[in-house]
Amino acid sequence: MNVISTVGLVGMAIGPVAGGFLLAVAPWQMLLGINTPIAIFALIGIRTGIPADRPEDLHRAPIDITGAVLGTMTVIVVLLAPTLFTETGTTSVWPWAALASAGIAGALFVLRECRAPHPMIDLRLVARPLVAGGLLFKAAGSLAIGSLGYLVTLHLQLADGWTPGRAALGMLPQVVVLIAGGVLIRPLIARTGMTRAAWYSSAVIVAGLAVYGLLGTHGYAWIAVALMLVATGMRVVGVVAGTNVMRGLPDDRTTIGAALADTAGQVGTSVGLALAGTLLTALFTGTLTGGNWDAHQYAQFDTAVTGAGIALTVVASLLVIAGIRLSRDRAGL
């Protein structure tokens, strides 16, 4: 799990850095193909390094297409609603319709998964404290690292006037910590245990978001501190949360556990980006990328990133608190 988490987190951290350097010498369209060599390498690795499934290990349960459609609709509409509120205003019927649609789709999804003979997600397994707690920790960490990278990239280039290449260098504290932070995992878990390691690392992630929200506009040094705190916490929680999910599931359901952990991370990242982007758009007058800001727009941007940072801190805190409560109940603490 440590190796898998390392590869995923390093890829997430290196992406913006590599993208920034690429934009310094090539048009943005080149970014669309940056993952192609990685995908080809992965396909070769899967083909040559992973043995074929044995027929006796496969199940014959059909795919829950209805559940997949309802779950996808719920996530899409939930992420669309904030954008509609920003673009059309609270007096428009469309954002409220999106919220209502999300509620209906979510309710239908839960109903479907509870009644389907072969559900896409067995909600009884997700409700297990160790599983639910791990998923909440993973969502909080992914929300933090995704949204902070997005905000910092905009902050350095639009407000501070850094070039894409220099902004990429500005993200290096996060990359260094994610790569080097692996040495912390075993000693921390050995000293505190798996459950408390998840608590402490999640608290560090929240602290990093708070530092950016409250102090990020006062200089790059505070931005670097925020990046390192979030990276430190995510380096640990990425391993611990996934391990807890696996520990909480039966031996024959670990595949769905890996998928759930990955989904929680993806949804957390999406929610963080949607929330950050919506607040920036709502609090900033004009076009963010238009350039030639006046003093009022610079002040608005500072207010927007502060508000976004604080809002993300609150959301991540709620996820972490819920995860701690569930894991505390499971651990009997």
Q: Are 264 and 142 in contact (CB under 8 A)?
A: yes
**Which residue type, as a one-letter code, is found at position 41?**
F
Q: Are 149 and 216 in contact (CB under 8 A)?
A: no
For residues 69 and 172, state if they share a domain: no
Please state the pTM of the whole predicted model: 0.84
Residue 325 lies in a domain: yes
Domain count, the chain: 2
For residues 243 and 151, state if they share a domain: yes
Q: Which of 119, 153, 188 is the last residue of a domain?
A: 119
For residues 251 and 153, state if they share a domain: yes
Residue 58 lies in a domain: no
Q: Which of 78, 93, 119 is the last residue of a domain?
A: 119
For residues 95 and 187, state if they share a domain: no
Q: How far is CA 26 from CA 160, 164, 170, 306, in A?
A: 22, 11, 20, 32
Q: CB-hemisphere CA count at 13 Å for 146?
A: 22
Give the pLDDT of the chain (333 residues) as one tens digit per residue. 556 666 666 676 677 777 777 777 777 777 777 778 888 988 898 888 888 777 776 667 788 999 999 999 999 999 899 888 888 888 899 999 999 999 999 999 999 999 999 898 888 888 898 899 999 999 999 999 989 999 999 999 999 999 888 888 898 898 888 888 777 777 888 888 888 888 899 999 999 999 999 999 999 999 999 999 999 998 888 888 888 888 888 877 777 888 888 889 989 999 999 999 989 988 888 888 777 888 999 999 999 999 999 999 999 999 999 998 887 755 545
Q: How far is CA 205 from CA 145, 163, 231, in A?
A: 8, 27, 7
Residue 210 lies in a domain: yes
Residue 45 lies in a domain: no
For residues 100 and 136, state if they share a domain: no
For residues 71 and 130, state if they share a domain: no
Q: Are 125 and 256 in contact (CB under 8 A)?
A: yes
For residues 226 and 94, state if they share a domain: no
Q: Quote the CA–CA distance of 115 and 245 in Å, as a whole number.
A: 24
Q: Quote the CA–CA distance of 20 and 149 in Å, as a whole number.
A: 12
For residues 206 and 102, state if they share a domain: no
For residues 68 and 132, state if they share a domain: no
For residues 134 and 104, state if they share a domain: no
pLDDT for the residue 329 = 57
Q: Which of 74, 91, 119 is the last residue of a domain?
A: 119
pLDDT for the residue 315 = 95
- The alpha carbon of residue 244 and the mean position of all alpha carbons in its chain are separated, in whole angstroms, by 18
For residues 115 and 129, state if they share a domain: no
Q: How far is CA 36 from CA 27, 33, 41, in A?
A: 17, 5, 9
- The alpha carbon of residue 30 and the mean position of all alpha carbons in its chain are separated, in whole angstroms, by 24
For residues 87 and 223, state if they share a domain: no
Residue 78 lies in a domain: yes
- Which DSSP string do the residues of 171-215 spell out, in sequence order? THHHHHHHHHGGGGHHHHHHHH-HHHHHHHHHHHHHHHHHHHHHH
Residue 35 lies in a domain: no
Count of other CB atoms within 10 angstroms of residue 77:
20
Per the structure, the complete domain to which residue 107 belongs is given by: 64-119
Q: Which CATH number belongs to the domain containing residue 235 in this structure? A: 1.20.1250.20
